[in-house]
Amino acid sequence: MSEEQFTDISMTVCLTGLIIFMGFIIWDLGKKSQAGKMGTAVLFLVLGFGVVGFIFKNVLVEFLVLK
């Protein structure tokens, strides 16, 4: 296994774990602040939008730069 393959696999695994952990943090924040269902949904929408933007940026780079 080359360094490039190891880096690619470890970044994918670690970033996936980080995104899942951030989802747990958002859920816990909604629970501890007693935001209710609507408030928790808004938290996921607003705070999760940054994660979606990060993923979308990576998809665009893959398709446009490596084309």
Q: Tell me how many degrees the CA angle 58-64-67 measures, rounded to the nearest 5.
A: 120
Per the structure, the complete domain to which residue 36 belongs is given by: 3-65
CA atoms of 19 and 12, how far apart (whole Å)? 11
Q: What is the pLDDT of residue 51?
A: 83
Q: 0.95 cut: is pTM over it?
A: no
Amino acid making up residue 5:
Q
Residue keyed to tokens 């924040």: 29
The predicted pLDDT at position 67 comes to 65
- Total tally of structural domains belonging to the chain: 1
pLDDT of residue 24: 94
| Residues 6 or more apart whose Cβ sits within 8 Å of residue 23 | 44, 48
pLDDT beneath 50: ranges in the chain:
none
Quick one: 29 exposed, middle or buried, by C-beta within 10 A (0-12, 13-18, 19+)? Answer: middle
